[in-house]
Homo-oligomer: A and B are copies of this chain.
Amino acid sequence: MSKEITARSQDYAQWYNDLVLKGGLADYSAVKGCMVIKPYGFALWENMRDVLDRMFKETGHQNAYFPLFIPKSFLSKEADHVEGFAKECAVVTHYRLKNNPDGSGVIVDPDAKLEEELIVRPTSETIIWNTYKDWIQSYRDLPLLVNQWANVVRWEMRTRLFLRTTEFLWQEGHTAHATAEEAIEETRKMLDVYADFVENYMAVPVVKGVKSASERFAGAVDTYCIEALMQDGKALQAGTSHFLGQNFAKAFDVQFSNKENKLEYVWATSWGVSTRLVGALVMAHSDDDGLILPPRIAPLQVVIVPIYKGQDQKDPIDAKVAAIVKELKAAGIRVKYDDSDNARPGWKFAEHEMKGVPVRIAIGSRDLENNVAEVARRDTKTKESLSLDGLAGNIVALLDEIQQNMYNKALAFRNEHITPVDSWEAFERALDEKTGFVAAHWDGTPETEAAIKEKTKATIRCIPLNNPQEAGVCILTGKPSKERVLFARAY
A21 to B340, CA, bound (A): 53
* A95 part of interface (Cβ distance < 8 Å): yes
Which residues on B sit within 8 Å (CB–CB) of A73?
105
Taking the nearest CB of chain B, how far is it from the CB of A85, in angstroms?
8
Which residues on B sit within 8 Å (CB–CB) of A93?
91-94, 108
A97 touches B89 (CB 8 A): yes
What does the 1/0 interface line of A2-35 toward B look like (CB < 8 Å)?
0000000000000000000000000101110011
Interface hit among A39-47, A283-291, A412-420, A469-477? A39-47
A146 to B42, CA, bound (A): 11
A67 touches B97 (CB 8 A): no
A29 touches B90 (CB 8 A): no
Taking the nearest CB of chain B, how far is it from the CB of A79, in angstroms?
11
Q: Count contacts on A: residues with CB < 8 A to the other chain.
A: 64
A64, A74, A117: which has the most chain B beta carbons within 10 Å?
Answer: A64
Which residues on B sit within 8 Å (CB–CB) of A179?
none
Interface hit among A126-134, A204-212, A320-328, A394-402? A126-134
A38 to B141, CA, bound (A): 14
B69 touches A167 (CB 8 A): yes
A155 touches B95 (CB 8 A): yes
Q: A residues 320-374 with Cβ under 8 Å of B? A: 342
Which residues on B sit within 8 Å (CB–CB) of A59?
none
Which among B97, B119, B167 is the interface contact of A91 at CB below 8 angstroms? Answer: B97
Chain A positions near chain B (C-beta within 8 angstroms): 27, 29-31, 34-39, 42-43, 45-46, 62-76, 82, 86-99, 105-106, 108, 117-120, 127, 130-131, 134, 140, 146, 150-151, 153, 155, 167, 169, 342
13 residue pairs of the A-B complex, CB under 8 angstroms, read A29-B66, A31-B118, A31-B127, A35-B67, A36-B65, A38-B64, A68-B167, A72-B105, A73-B105, A87-B96, A93-B94, A108-B117, A151-B151
Q: A42-B64, A90-B92 are in contact. List 14 more A-B contacts (CB 8 A).
A: A30-B71, A31-B69, A35-B67, A36-B66, A37-B65, A68-B151, A69-B167, A86-B96, A87-B97, A88-B95, A90-B94, A91-B96, A91-B97, A140-B342
